[in-house]
Amino acid sequence: MKTLKKQLTDGIQRALESLSYPGKDFSLAPPNNPDFGNISSNIALLLANDLKTSPLEIANAIANELQSAVLDHIESITVTPPGFINFFIRNSFFQSSIKSIRKAGNSYGRGIVGRGKTANVEFVSANPTGPLTVGHGRNAVLGDSIANILEWNSYEVTREYYYNDAGRQMHILGQSVEARYFELCGRKSNFPEEGYQGEYIREIARQILDRRGTELGSGSHYFKDDAEKEIFSEIKNSLKRLGIHFDHFSNEKTFYENGAIDQFIMELKKKDLIYEKDGATWFRATALGKEKDRVYIKTSGEPTYRVPDTAYHRDKLERKFDLIVDIFGADHADSYPDVLLALQAMGLDTSPIKVLLYQFVTLMRDGQKVKMSTRKANFVTLDELKNDLGADVVRYFFIMRSMNTHLDFDLDLAADQSDKNPVFYLQYAHARICNIIKHGKEKGIKETSSFQDGQLTHEDELNLIRHMVHFPELIETTHDTLEPQNIANYLQELAARFHRFYGQCRVITENKELSKARLGLVSAVKIILGNGLSILGITAPERM
């Protein structure tokens, strides 16, 4: 399809030249209405103004030029008001694509824009203060799918998790565990005002008690360190259950220890972008066009999160990735620009960094919004969600809609309606195909690469193929948008066309040749479904 489009683009450009029309950036897209062919172009409409001629006239002139050119796979060219040029593609083009899809197999659709390039996708990045919640789930699934999309475009991808292990949150975590430990020991305890109240804190304290006895003193580093270790290992398990793994972990402590933070603050100081006021250290963002200066080091002596984050992003830039993707919740919307600003002030090129913000997930339970807070232990964990709904459903729910919109996750509904979940619609198509292939085998009709693709002439067959051939372009566009729901939408449409075909056309029949051709067709659909689902991280079952 891509080469065909390229051919048409070139053809139109040549026509423009020979007619001495000016060049224009025109579109070449499939129209909704089949009466307008398989691809149509708006070129004439775009030229009308410049040429002061009616678009229909221009369209006819271009179409005339094209008629005399040699264009492969084009059956006919028409012009329709207000001035579209429509191309009708021969069935043979679509029919023959089946064999190329089958030949490419599980690499059908792979793009090459990222060939030889590296990408870093940072996601989840939850601090190890408690179990992952639903909000982290959206982040995790988005990030993993986006990493997959980049891999499908030939990038070498590093999946990275960054966490703060030196800040206030971790300090409070340690204090919370300590208090619970003292309680268990029957010693006097003092639970911090903003401590983490979850039951998991008690369990960690109990483990520490078992492992290290009752004699730990106040302020022992074990409270924080053991808790961090334990919680982190739980986080990794939760992610694993959703099929998510990481290649690299970074933490803020590193940047304190290796001097990176002192280093960059020094650099900014030299540029007069750091100053002291009210006992705090400030970043002079206003000098760089921002509205407010930002605190870098609090009066307490602790740096704000911006500081290690900036060092961390500098580190990522210095690792020379061609593309750096950050997946952040909407609450970061106001903070990452400061990080970028500081990096630019240091003379770094931040253009490889692409920040993706997703809106919050609102959980609905019993028709009520569930307010969540890790600290108050009032949350639904990702594990609970996964256990109730299964990994496939959880993943699909998080990517089926745009990250720009709030996600209302109705827990009761999701559980009740799990039969009717759209993810099953896709998986069912895949399972159906597997069953057809199996059935064919039993009837002695094997799936083979030699079949007469010209047998595939039914309207529902062609309609299915017409959608199939767009898959490679989809992978490419999704590389630009980085919106996994584009893939989910595409697959829904593919499954719909398959199910319709299934209702209209019987695959295994007495007609051997037709059966073989249709087996070829459905196996190609299976390939695309499988490839698409794997990008979304969802299984493609053989049976349901």
The interface with RNA within residues 306-345 (CB under 7 A) comprises 330-335
Residue type, 270: K
Choose among 537, 533, 536, 510: nearest CA to 433. Answer: 533
Three-class secondary structure assignment of 36-80 = HCCEEECHHHHHHHHHCCCHHHHHHHHHHHHHHCCCCCEEEEEEE
Residue 277 lies near RNA (rule: CB under 7 A): yes
First-to-final CA distance of the chain:
33
Which of 280, 287, 348, 370 lies at the binding interface for RNA (CB under 7 A)?
A: 280
Taking the complex as a whole, how short is the minimal distance between the CB of residue 481 and RNA, in angstroms?
6
Taking the complex as a whole, how short is the minimal distance between the CB of residue 405 and RNA, in angstroms?
4
Which of 139, 145, 153, 164 lies at the binding interface for RNA (CB under 7 A)?
A: 164
Q: Which residue has the tokens 């197999």?
A: 105
Residue 276 lies near RNA (rule: CB under 7 A): no
Which of 343, 411, 505, 528 lies at the binding interface for RNA (CB under 7 A)?
A: 505
427, 404 contact by CB (below 8 A): no
* CA 181/CA 178 separation, integer angstroms: 5
Q: Tell me how crowded residue 146 is: count the other CB atoms within 10 A of its CB.
A: 27
Residue 275 lies near RNA (rule: CB under 7 A): no
CB nearer to RNA: pick between 7 and 207: 7
Region 343-372 residues binding RNA, contact defined as CB under 7 A: 357, 359-360
Binding pattern to RNA, positions 382-411, x when CB under 7 A?
------------------xxx-xxxxx---
Taking the complex as a whole, how short is the minimal distance between the CB of residue 489 and RNA, in angstroms?
4
Residues 6+ apart with CB under 8 A from 96: 453
Choose among 73, 79, 75, 67: nearest CA to 43. Answer: 79
Which of 7, 80, 220, 250 lies at the binding interface for RNA (CB under 7 A)?
A: 80
Taking the complex as a whole, how short is the minimal distance between the CB of residue 136 and RNA, in angstroms?
12
Which of 236, 354, 458, 499 lies at the binding interface for RNA (CB under 7 A)?
A: 499
CA atoms within 13 A on the CB side of 391: 16
Which of 254, 492, 534, 539 lies at the binding interface for RNA (CB under 7 A)?
A: 492
Taking the complex as a whole, how short is the minimal distance between the CB of residue 403 and RNA, in angstroms?
8
Choose among 47, 36, 48, 44: nearest CA to 63. Answer: 44
Q: Which residue has the tokens 């309609």?
A: 463
Size of the site for RNA (CB under 7 A): 95
Taking the complex as a whole, how short is the minimal distance between the CB of residue 369 and RNA, in angstroms?
9
Which of 485, 487, 527, 532 lies at the binding interface for RNA (CB under 7 A)?
A: 485
CB nearer to RNA: pick between 120 and 125: 125
Which of 508, 514, 535, 538 lies at the binding interface for RNA (CB under 7 A)?
A: 508
Binding range to RNA, per CB under 7 A, among 28-36, 98-106, 142-150, 180-188: 28-36
Residue type, 450: S
Whole-angstrom CA distances from 232 to 11, 383, 522 are 58, 14, 44
Taking the complex as a whole, how short is the minimal distance between the CB of residue 348 and RNA, in angstroms?
21
Binding range to RNA, per CB under 7 A, among 83-91, 97-105, 111-119, 205-213: 83-91
Residues 6+ apart with CB under 8 A from 237: none
* CA 160/CA 164 separation, integer angstroms: 14
- Range list of β-strands (E), 131-243: 156-163
Residue 29 lies near RNA (rule: CB under 7 A): yes
Region 131-160 residues binding RNA, contact defined as CB under 7 A: none
CA atoms within 13 A on the CB side of 225: 6
Which of 60, 154, 477, 539 lies at the binding interface for RNA (CB under 7 A)?
A: 477
